[in-house]
Amino acid sequence: MTPPTPRFSEFFAGAGMVRAALSDGWDLAFANDIDAGKCAAYAENWGADGLICGDIAALDPALLQQPIDLYWASSPCQDLSLAGHRSGLAGARSSTFFAWIEHVRAARAGGFAPGILAFENVTGLLSSHGGRDFQAVVDAFAACGYRCGAMEIDARHFLPQSRPRVFVIAVRDDLDLPAGLTQDAPSGTFHTDRIRAAHAALPRKLAQRWIWWTLPDPARPNAALADLIDTAAPDVMTPTSLDRLLSLMTAPHRARVQDAVDAGGLHVGTVYKRGRPDGLGQTVQRAEVRFDGIAGCLRTPGGGSSRQTVLIVRDGTVTARLLSTREAARLMGLPDSYRLPARFNDAYRLSGDGVAVPVVRHLDTHIFQPLIRHTRRIRSAA
């Protein structure tokens, strides 16, 4: 019997950002994550019912033997990230994708294959190992009986954060697709050059199963960075620390700060510390500032360089501090009512590892829900 409300499972659940996006129109079947701290935060906000903390490979197969409409997986990205060692899907962390696929196979074998699979990861997936890792993802879906298509969606279309990610949406072979949900050729913001190139590199047998999803741009304008930043927060850097930060900037970046000082008024920027070649064969640390109203991509707090600094220029005075954990959560689309861990690194990691809430909600509105409604209408008419 089909449950009245669609049901989803959230693998690699982290802070429950997918649940935050789907909570109004979906019921949770179960959620899973291996990290005890993330599980604690998930339970604090959503309750422990349906939450399974542990290795995805050790999940009880019986969990998959129930009606579930959507499996969502945001598997670890460290082995695919441009900032990592690029071990690819064979890496110890990113290989958990295949553990998830084994659960998809088990559900299919038991007659409970979900209608929709959603897989999110960094854009490095598209180029990792010359595109072979992306091909392996598409091939895994095909072997499980799914057609799929991918989109590159940058959170900056929804939030003031530059966060491009790849979203692979797969649908079971036996499900009919409603008119307007797909298109014959790539077009629109989210079928980027990288997506088109990844598709063009697929073997013919996989390219023939490809879906060009129709996904409109968001209707509402992007939120302003200044609206999410606590510009009156007192925890500023000392003058010595600020001078050190400014000294790490190259001339063009120092000029951006000076332009903000000269303009007067309030200007909010963000700063990342990065390793850059110095032209002499060495790598030096640089501080790079942007005042374009968009924060850099949030990362996990592996070190000071992974944490963004907020630079506030007010009437010619420059102050700086680390981006707060609450501000990081806002940049992921979480409301201020979301309860964050007390420790800075734990709370920052939740955001850095997460998926942007309004992006998931946009996919739900324009792909998941239309597909669910169409499928149920067909079943009810049969």
Q: Is residue 36 part of a domain?
A: yes
Based on the fold, state whether residues 274 and 188 are members of the same structural domain.
no
Q: Give the least confident one: 62-66, 85-89, 104-108, 245-249.
A: 85-89
Based on the fold, state whether residues 286 and 143 are members of the same structural domain.
no
Is a pLDDT exceeding 90 seen at residue 91? Answer: no
Based on the fold, state whether residues 194 and 148 are members of the same structural domain.
yes
Q: Is residue 332 part of a domain?
A: no
Q: Is residue 341 part of a domain?
A: no
3-state secondary structure of 11: strand
Based on the fold, state whether residues 166 and 265 are members of the same structural domain.
no
Q: Give the least confident one: 114-118, 171-175, 202-206, 297-301.
A: 297-301
Can you give the pTM of this predicted structure?
0.92
Instruction: Name the burial class of residue 30, with classes exposed (0-12), middle (13-18) and buried (19+) by CB atoms within 10 angstroms of its CB.
Output: buried
Over residues 2-17, the mean pLDDT reads 92
Q: Is residue 1 part of a domain?
A: no
Based on the fold, state whether residues 282 and 183 are members of the same structural domain.
no
Question: What is the predicted pLDDT for the residue at 260?
Answer: 97
* pLDDT tens per residue across span 49-74: 999 999 999 999 899 999 999 999 99
Q: Give the least confident one: 34-38, 43-47, 92-96, 265-269.
A: 92-96
Q: Are strands 27-33 and 309-314 parallel, antiparallel or unpaired?
A: unpaired
- Percent with pLDDT over 70 in the chain: 92
Question: What is the predicted pLDDT for the residue at 90?
Answer: 52
Question: What is the predicted pLDDT for the residue at 84?
Answer: 47
CA-to-CA separations, 290 to 87, 267, 324, in angstroms, rounded: 31, 10, 18
For residue 47, what is the domain's CATH number? 3.40.50.150
Q: What is the DSSP letter of 245?
A: H
Residue that terminates a domain, selected from 279, 306, 323: 323
Q: Is residue 335 part of a domain?
A: no
Based on the fold, state whether residues 92 and 124 are members of the same structural domain.
yes
Q: Is residue 336 part of a domain?
A: no
CA-to-CA separations, 49 to 1, 71, 245, in angstroms, rounded: 22, 18, 46
Please give the Cα distance from 6 to 80 (Å, whole number): 32
Is a pLDDT exceeding 50 seen at residue 93? Answer: no
Is a pLDDT exceeding 90 seen at residue 281? Answer: no
3-state secondary structure of 197: helix
Based on the fold, state whether residues 71 and 161 are members of the same structural domain.
yes
Name which residue leads in pLDDT, 191 or 92.
Answer: 191
What DSSP element (H or E) covers 346? helix 344-352
Name which residue leads in pLDDT, 370 or 88.
Answer: 370
Based on the fold, state whether residues 291 and 212 are members of the same structural domain.
no
The beta strand positions in the chain, using DSSP E, are 7-11, 27-33, 51-53, 70-73, 116-122, 146-154, 164-172, 182-183, 212-213, 266-277, 283-290, 309-314, 317-322
Q: Is residue 347 part of a domain?
A: no
Contact 303, 317 (CB under 8 A): no
3-state secondary structure of 210: strand
Based on the fold, state whether residues 286 and 362 are members of the same structural domain.
no
Would you tell me how many other CB atoms lie within 10 Å of the CB of residue 161?
26
Q: Which amino acid is at 39?
A: C
Write the DSSP assignment of 104-157 as a string of letters.
HHHHHHTT---SEEEEEEETHHHHGGGGHHHHHHHHHHHHTTEEEEEEEEEGGG
Over residues 144-173, the mean pLDDT reads 97
Q: Is residue 109 part of a domain?
A: yes
Domain count, the chain: 2
Label each residue of 307-337 as H, E or C: CCEEEEEECCEEEEEECCHHHHHHHCCCCCC
Based on the fold, state whether residues 151 and 297 are members of the same structural domain.
no
Q: Which domain holds residue 61?
A: 7-222+353-381
Estimate to the nearest angstrom the gap between the alpha carbon of 365 and the chain centroid. 17
Based on the fold, state whether residues 246 and 207 are members of the same structural domain.
no
Over residues 141-164, the mean pLDDT reads 97
Name which residue leads in pLDDT, 268 or 237.
Answer: 268
Q: Point out the residues that are catalytic.
A: 77
pLDDT category of residue 300 using cuts at 50, 70 and 90: confident
Based on the fold, state whether residues 196 and 278 are members of the same structural domain.
no
3-state secondary structure of 270: strand
